[in-house]
Amino acid sequence: MHRKANKRVRTARPKTRHFSPPPRLEPGAPTDLDLMRAIQAADPEALSQLYDRYNGILKALILRVIHNEAEADDLLQEIFME
């Protein structure tokens, strides 16, 4: 008699991605929506504030994908210039 092997089939689990939450805002700091509205009104300071708020997290994400510091800097600049 042949016995069937009791094999467990392992299914691949999706990798858990851990992303940092958006930076905490100081009391009284403009929200992202406030900054976007100011950018639409051509306020250069608003773009600077938005860049300061998100450049670190965006660069880290880009580096995880492309693994090249110079290209990451170029892409980050393109993101904010579009």
Per-residue pLDDT at 80:
87
The answer to whether 38 and 24 are in contact (CB under 8 A) is: no
- In eight-state DSSP terms, residue 6 is -
pLDDT in tens, 1-56: 566 666 666 665 555 555 566 678 889 999 999 999 999 999 999 999 999 999 99
Q: Is the pTM of this model over 0.85?
A: no
Start-to-end C-alpha separation, the chain: 70
Handedness of CA 47, 51, 54, 58 (dihedral sign): positive
Residues near 30 by beta carbon (within 8 Å), at least 6 away in sequence: 38, 46, 49
Per-residue pLDDT at 14:
55
